[in-house]
Structure 1
Amino acid sequence: MNPQTTSPPDADRARAVKRRLNVATVVVTFGALAFGYDTGVISGALPFMTRSTAEGGLDLTPTTEGMVTSSLLLGAAFGAIIGGRLSDRHGRRRNVMMLAFMFFLGALGCALAPNLPVMLVCRMVLGFAVGGASATVPMFIGELAPAERRGPLVSRNELMIVTGQLIAYVSNAIIGLVSEGGHAWRLMLGLATIPAIALWIGVHFVPESPRWLVSKGRGEEALEVLRLLRTGDPRPEVGEITEVVEETTRAQSDAWGHLRTPWIRRITLIGIGFGIVIQLTGVNAIMYFAPTVLMSTGMGTQASLVATIANGVISVAAVATGLVVIGRSNRRTMLRIGMSGLVISQILLGLAFLLPEAPWRGYLILLLMLCFLWFMQMFCSIVFWLMMAEIFPLRVRGVAMGIAVFCQWISNAVVTLCFPILLDAIGMRTFFIFAVINFLVLLWEQKYLPETRGKSLEYLEEELASGSDAREPGPLSIG
């Protein structure tokens, strides 16, 4: 047979497979987009919600501002734990449908909330969806993608989160400019229903995870899914998935018992600690309260909302750059650079607020906030999520990851609750507190966190078990 007659069908099939994978990834990452929008939109809504009820607000105080903002994060802590279990029980696809419904219900409830108690309940519902998406979306994409495309496709999750935040900042600014009343916050929060609807509709056209199907003994269905998403014969991959599922089931059959092993308990506690300290950086104090901070410099409400768009632009650019850099750099080196940048930025932020009032002072503070975000998003956030997938031994990975993510969301909620209260009590000296904390975190990370670059998960586990120095890059990164 003439090769020219067979190549076009093969090329057509490859294009069709690539298109299906891209469509599935875009649809599933609408969950990450909703995640980003819902965590970013509150920054623009708060200045309107602090107005009196007569002006259309909820008459929020610094304490209730922290409660409204942190209630989503508290819900997310439980969503990450429970959502992961529901995903294992009912399937990734069905779980994403459920999360889309909760995104819609929570966003609509927040937009229509008549008082503070209803707002808190709806924010927790929304938070549950955010936490569930943080646990399910990257896993779902990773199980649909072929090995050679898994990294780039899964990385789109983080990019969609910061894109969602950017969209929130832009829509906040537009609504703030055109709205004449205090009810602008309702429209800001209500727009979150759009990605929720898109996610619910789109996921009906996405196949179930082949790995989950195999884990439920539905190998033939997994084979049919892989025929849609692979260019070659999918039968060997089904065999590999079956082996991995069986190995994981055996390894994690006594996960809590394995935690009694000293080196496993130590690395698990280090990973959990990393999940806590990454939130003590204060990044979400800036992401959630940027307009509030800028308004304290004398900048108007509308001007602060427009200026906050720069936060979203810098976050997207920093994550995109970090995705390129991380493949060529050691994890510990990136953390060292990132945390040093955070400490310097926060010291300068605290000093900037001590300057005499002037029209340019607000823009200087905005510039320093952007420097902080660049170091955080490009270096620290990227490394955190990657190391969370690398650091835990297989036999306790599910339990340890769940605990670490839960603790991360809880520490996020604590910082978010305390920030407006500290801001009201001691003003921008709060940033000096963050600078001291981040300096201590830098010392902790460099002392305890292992280097995972260039090491297979099996090699890293052997290194940690033997007690050898795991702070150097592995053999795969040499040369």
Structure 2
Amino acid sequence: MTEKGHLPEKGFPYGSSSGNKEEKQPVSIWVIIPVVATVLGSGIPAGYCLGVINTPQEIIRTWVKATVLAHSEHLLTQTEELYVWAVIVSTYVIGAVMGCPLGGFLAHKGGRRMGLFINHLLFLVAAALCTTCKLADSIYMLIFGRFISGVCAGLSCSLMPMYLSEVAPEALRGVMAVLLPSAMCLGLLLSQILGLEFILGTRECWPYLLGGFGVPVTIALLLQPLLPISPAYCYIVLEDEGRGKKALHQLRGGPSKSVEAEEMALHALMIKNKFCEHGLSLMGMIKNEKYRLPMVIVMIFNMGQQFSGINAVFYYSTLIFRSAGLTNKESQGASIGAAAVNWIVSIIAITLIRYTRRRALLLNSAALCVVAQGILMASLALIPSVSAASYISIIAMLSFVFAYNLGIGPVPFMIATELFSVGPRSIGISIGSTSNWISNLIVGLTFPLVQDLIGEYSFICFMVSSTLLWIFTYKYLPETLGKDDLTTSNTPTSLEDSSSDTQTDV
């Protein structure tokens, strides 16, 4: 064990690419099980609930009007109907905003596994409410089910990247952190496909469509007893070195490698001797100068992800395509195509994250998003006079989804795992996730109004946002590839300091 007097002055970059490399080991089954369980129980349901409300919206709105009329003998006006629908849609995001900080608290106080168990259990409750709301003839059950599923989505955004990055071997930590957006994209695609009229998007089957995410959640709950504990949580939070070594032994498929075990033990010792922080509060991190820039980076990236306009596509994609002159079936097909591209490129991004610099991914992704949105806006404006413009708009929208998933999509979900050490990591991830969902809520509530006011030119707002994100990334983001804990090594502590540490990666 390293003596207190010999601890490094700058802190210890746990999980970073230091000079000591362990020999490569095959990924054990105890790493694969957490991946399967969290993808099925957290990632897929979060994406599924995000998109499932889009395709059958006309059928559900008809049921809402009929239910209100039956219970109160009041026929909703068009404005009242839109208001009720906005509540049904937005309660999911409001729940997610509340769930994000709760995820960080659960991860630190109860442990990563306990947090995931609570998350999966609540997801199952939400699925039951959504499935039985029509049978009970209750709009309130639908709204409450959407709210609980939103809380669970927020928990997923905090818990899943943190847990997977801590149980994974060093070489796969970046990959593990971006499995969440990929799983969400898959859930979104499944919801769009199952929502087709000839599958579950009917007047009789839509409740089973809304609660369909309960199937993968049930499988995840059955896998819950097999989930290994996080070694980092044992060493850093529980301060139980013996339990941490057992966890490493299980995860690595044999005796724990001395380098990884010694790194965690050293980090725990540094925390004990006040060389680095552990269990910081939010105010403590705000007051600590070295955490300010990482917090700003995490917040800006997560806000920029939502203000890029991606969820305008999936909340209102059918509306966009129908206003472009497509039929209802053509609009649904285009929405499913966008969701398919979204998922396929998210799979490609998993490999890119492992080998590509984060600055390069973000800079190129933001630039391509601006170009694609410009073409989309122009093609939508030309639809009344140019017949081919409707097809160009579809291609432009798919191109935007492709560009988004190259960098703006995956990087914000994993950047906090590389900017913060284990101690403050739960708060850092919660801050990013909360910023993400608040921005999601703003876009979801304002986009229909802006679109109604200025039509296709509403995409100018998203183009400006992506341009500002490009500028911020170019000026202030330090490269984090292979450097998990920049807050304890060489992260600049102010925006002025950071400009000298960045480099051109376009």
TM-score bracket for this pair, using the shorter chain length: 0.7 to 0.9
- Paired AA for residue 502 in structure 2: E
Q: Could you tell me which residue of structure 2 aligns to residue 227 of structure 1?
A: 249
Paired residues in the alignment total 459
Distance in 1 (CA, whole Å) between partners of 2:218 and 2:490 is 46
Question: In the alignment, which of 29, 41, 62 is matched to residue 52 of structure 2?
Answer: 41
Q: Flag the 1:20–1:267 CA change in 2: closer, same or farther, 3 A.
A: closer
Quote the offset at 1:373 in angstroms: 0.5
Q: Could you tell me which residue of structure 2 aligns to residue 110 of structure 1?
A: 130
Q: Could you tell me which residue of structure 2 aligns to residue 343 of structure 1?
A: 370
Q: Could you tell me which residue of structure 1 aligns to residue 404 of structure 2?
A: 376
Q: Deviations over 1:426-465 (max 9, x none)?
A: 4333223322333333333333333334656349843514
Question: In the alignment, which of 183, 189, 197 is matched to residue 166 of structure 1?
Answer: 189
Distance in 2 (CA, whole Å) between partners of 1:406 and 1:278 is 13
Unaligned runs of 5+ in 2: 1-24, 69-75
Q: Could you tell me which residue of structure 2 aligns to residue 310 of structure 1?
A: 337
- Paired AA for residue 221 in structure 2: W
Q: Could you tell me which residue of structure 2 aligns to residue 196 of structure 1?
A: 217
Contact 1:223-1:238 within 8 A present in 2 as well: yes
Contact 2:101-2:427 within 8 A present in 1 as well: no
Distance in 2 (CA, whole Å) between partners of 1:109 and 1:144 is 33
Q: Flag the 1:248–1:405 CA change in 2: closer, same or farther, 3 A.
A: farther
Quote the offset at 1:180 in angstroms: 8.0
Quote the offset at 1:52 in angstroms: 5.5
Q: Flag the 1:388–1:219 CA change in 2: closer, same or farther, 3 A.
A: closer
Higher helix share: 1
Give % identity.
22
Q: Could you tell me which residue of structure 2 aligns to residue 23 of structure 1?
A: 33
Distance in 2 (CA, whole Å) between partners of 1:167 and 1:83 is 25
Q: Which moved more, 1:286-295 or 1:186-195?
A: 286-295
Query: Normalised by the size of structure 1, how large is the TM-score?
Result: 0.84
Query: Secondary structure, in 3 states, of the residue corresponding to 1:259?
Result: helix
- Paired AA for residue 157 in structure 2: S
Q: Could you tell me which residue of structure 2 aligns to residue 279 of structure 1?
A: 306
Q: Does the alignment pair 1:386 with 2:414?
A: yes
Quote the offset at 1:271 in angstroms: 3.0
Summarize the alignment of residues 216-295 of structure 1 with structure 2, pairs less than 5 Å apart.
Answer: 216-234=238-256, 236=258, 237-248=260-271, 250=274, 251-253=276-278, 256-257=283-284, 259-262=286-289, 264-295=291-322
Q: Flag the 1:396–1:187 CA change in 2: closer, same or farther, 3 A.
A: closer
Distance in 2 (CA, whole Å) between partners of 1:364 and 1:335 is 25
Contact 2:51-2:314 within 8 A present in 1 as well: yes
- Paired AA for residue 120 in structure 2: A
Summarize the alignment of residues 319-468 of structure 1 with structure 2, pairs less than 5 Å apart.
Answer: 319-357=346-384, 361-392=389-420, 397-453=425-481, 455=483, 457-458=485-486, 461-465=489-493, 467=497
Distance in 1 (CA, whole Å) between partners of 2:263 and 2:163 is 18
What's the Cα RMSD here?
Answer: 3.3
Quote the offset at 1:258 in angstroms: 5.3
Q: Flag the 1:63–1:378 CA change in 2: closer, same or farther, 3 A.
A: farther
Q: Could you tell me which residue of structure 2 aligns to residue 6 of structure 1?
A: none
Q: Could you tell me which residue of structure 2 aligns to residue 472 of structure 1?
A: 502
Question: In the alignment, which of 104, 120, 140 is matched to residue 100 of structure 1?
Answer: 120
- Paired AA for residue 320 in structure 2: V
Distance in 1 (CA, whole Å) between partners of 2:421 and 2:171 is 23
Q: Deviations over 1:408-430 (max 9, x none)?
A: 21111111121223334443332
Query: Secondary structure, in 3 states, of the residue corresponding to 1:44?
Result: coil
- Paired AA for residue 86 in structure 1: L
Contact 1:71-1:127 within 8 A present in 2 as well: yes
Q: Flag the 1:456–1:133 CA change in 2: closer, same or farther, 3 A.
A: closer
Q: Which moved more, 1:353-362 or 1:224-233?
A: 353-362
Contact 1:142-1:154 within 8 A present in 2 as well: yes
Distance in 2 (CA, whole Å) between partners of 1:225 and 1:153 is 18
Q: Which moved more, 1:91-100 or 1:54-63?
A: 54-63
Q: Deviations over 1:251-272 (max 9, x none)?
A: 3355534533556434433432
Quote the offset at 1:274 in angstroms: 2.6
Distance in 2 (CA, whole Å) between partners of 1:217 and 1:453 is 28
Contact 1:74-1:124 within 8 A present in 2 as well: yes
